[in-house]
Amino acid sequence: MKKSGIFITGTDTGVGKTVVAAGFALALKALGLKVGVMKPVATGCQGFEPRLHSEDAIFLLEAAENEYPPLTNPVRYRNPLAPSVAAVLERKAVNVAHIHHAYQELQKYYDFIIVEGIGGLMVPLKKDYFVTNLIREFHLPVVIVAHGGLGSINHTLLTIDAAVIRGFDIRGIIFNRVSRVNVSLAEMTNPKVIHELSGVPVLGTLPDIDGLDARNCCFGDLKEIFEERIQFQKVLPTPTVPA
């Protein structure tokens, strides 16, 4: 039976998808859900074959308290490049069947699966196969992570447009690393403008999190701030009302 889940994508690399995915894991876990996490493809991994590891994937694994690292991050590359490029350099093609198998296995153990993409929607995983292909094949709704400052309107609307064209269900946008003090005019106005132009709901904004250290798997105040500032329950499926 296919389980519920969400696909976390971004307007770019480095916007904080991993922090947002971990926040969802912590908050949904607190509701009593068995939450599984997945980062299908990671580049810029540490170590050497066959023990390459992704710090982002480990951070997610710890947040959700999952027990199956090979399923969480089935495809890993050492070079910090788009997967299709890293695959050529490292002579190791992205195995899409392996990714699908890992996703299907995770569904056996968890009620809700949080999948974090790599970069944005149009990052190529291999020739003629993008992050968008993976979202479509997983049949998951999407949450977009964006930065709140200057340039966010263009980047976010382009991402929304790419998702809408492909018929994706966009559950909302989260603006990450928004200033706590001395908030810029762009940060103050962009969420409202983007919502008015796109019709996509804004689920909330996140500041930098005190005590958060992804490398050492320290979550700081992430759970509490996420619960306070993000409408995270809106990613859950609407209960079916009996006729």
CA gap 120, 192 in Å, rounded: 22
- Angle of the 152-165 helix axis to the 185-198 helix axis, nearest 10: 20
Phi/psi region, residue 108 (left: phi>0; alpha: psi -120 to 50; beta: rest), is alpha
Cis-peptide, bond into residue 69, ω within 30° of zero = no
Is residue 29 among the annotated active site residues?
no
Catalytic one of 2, 39, 108, 223: 39
Token pair 């390459």 in the structure block, residue: 52
Give the residue numbers marked as catalytic: 39
